[in-house]
């Protein structure tokens, strides 16, 4: 059971770009639905829930940001992964996109192989027990199906929140996240938790990884937040 036949909803107001995306996605054996506006997208989603949404950042009748926020806030669409397609490569926009729950972003102009690779990676992460049920970085392995973590084959004992934190970091390596972003992605957007709670759980996670020599992978980025990396 691969990626074939997964339904991708392309939300893009420019017909020429929609057409190009449909062509590239169909060649990669995805099924494609199209929407030219936020309203159109709502109707398409009501008709058939997509496996992933490619969302244009700027659209008439509501921006992609507003629609993403709405979809991530609704129980029936919360789990549908969204990749934001933006002509704006500014860091601030990316941060805002990730803040509201986007799973990834690509900046125009992008290459189709890159886009397809991003889509496949996001789909694998979102498939329960999918192809990526084992996430591994330099000997640290997260088994998603059993929620067990091992370091060089040795079991690592983690509490449920530390496990979710580690799973999030291992799924998003080499990216800097603010405390607010980590809160949103690990605790959920509708939960009130103080930002310093993140620091407490990061400390616990590091402490659990320390005897195995992996504590340094969770790096503090001064003035910003945290990054998971096996590069020192």
CATH number at residue 171: 1.10.10.10
pLDDT at 113 over 50: yes
**In-domain check, residue 1:** no
Residue 146: its pLDDT value, please? Answer: 77
SS3 7: strand
Residues 149 and 115 in one domain: no
**In-domain check, residue 176:** yes
Average pLDDT of span 177-181: 89
Reported confidence tier of residue 131, pLDDT bands at 50, 70, 90 = very low
**In-domain check, residue 110:** yes
Reported confidence tier of residue 1, pLDDT bands at 50, 70, 90 = very low
Residues 215 and 159 in one domain: yes
Residues 101 and 142 in one domain: no
Structurally, how many domains does the chain consist of? 2
pLDDT at 107 over 60: yes
Residue-wise pLDDT for 223-232, tens only, equals 899 999 988 7
Residue 108 to residues 34, 57, 191, Cα–Cα distance (Å): 18, 11, 34
23-27, 57-61, 171-175: which has the highest mean pLDDT?
Answer: 23-27
Contacts of 85 (CB under 8 A, 6+ apart): 12, 54, 55, 56, 57, 64, 105, 106, 108, 110
SS3 2: coil
Distance CA 189, CA 181 (A): 9
Q: Is 154 exposed, middle or buried (0-12, 13-18, 19+ CB in 10 A)?
A: exposed
Q: Which of 93-102, 103-112, 164-173 has the lowest mean pLDDT?
A: 93-102
Residue 90: its pLDDT value, please? Answer: 60
Domain boundary among 91, 126, 161: 126
**In-domain check, residue 95:** yes
CATH number at residue 117: 3.40.50.2300
Average pLDDT of span 46-75: 84
Residue 65: its pLDDT value, please? Answer: 82
Domain boundary among 87, 103, 126: 126
- Which residue's entry shows tokens 């096996």? 230
DSSP H or E run through 41:
helix 38-47
SS3 154: strand
pTM of the predicted structure, to 2 decimals: 0.57
Residues 162 and 188 in one domain: yes
Q: Which of 18-22, 81-85, 117-121 has the lowest mean pLDDT?
A: 117-121
Residue-wise pLDDT for 139-149, tens only, equals 899 887 778 89
Mean pLDDT score across all residues of the chain: 84
Reported confidence tier of residue 88, pLDDT bands at 50, 70, 90 = low
Reported confidence tier of residue 125, pLDDT bands at 50, 70, 90 = confident
DSSP H or E run through 178:
strand 176-178
Other Cβ atoms closer than 10 A to 180: 13
> Which structural domain, as residue segments, surrounds residue 208?
134-228
């Amino acid at each position: 059971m691969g990626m074939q036949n997964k339904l991708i909803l392309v939300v893009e107001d420019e017909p020429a770009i929609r057409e190009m995306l449909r062509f590239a996605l169909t060649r990669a054996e995805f099924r494609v639905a199209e929407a030219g506006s936020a309203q159109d997208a709502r109707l398409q989603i009501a008709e058939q829930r997509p496996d992933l949404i490619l969302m244009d950042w700027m659209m008439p009748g509501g921006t992609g940001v507003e629609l993403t926020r709405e979809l991530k806030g609704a129980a029936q669409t919360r789990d549908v992964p969204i990749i934001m397609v933006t002509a704006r490569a500014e860091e601030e926009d990316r941060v805002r996109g990730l803040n509201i729950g986007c799973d990834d972003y690509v900046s125009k102009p992008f290459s189709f192989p890159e886009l397809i690779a991003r889509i496949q990676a996001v789909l694998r992460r979102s498939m329960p027990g999918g192809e990526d049920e084992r996430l591994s970085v330099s000997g640290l392995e997260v088994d998603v199906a059993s929620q067990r973590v091992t370091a060089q084959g040795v079991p690592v004992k983690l509490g449920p929140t530390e496990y979710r934190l580690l799973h999030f970091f291992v799924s998003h390596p080499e990216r800097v996240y603010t405390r607010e972003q980590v809160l949103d992605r690990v605790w959920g957007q509708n939960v009130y938790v103080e930002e310093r709670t993140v620091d407490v759980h990061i400390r616990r996670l590091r402490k659990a990884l320390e005897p195995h020599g992996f504590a340094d992978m969770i790096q503090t980025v001064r003035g910003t937040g945290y990054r998971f990396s096996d590069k020192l």
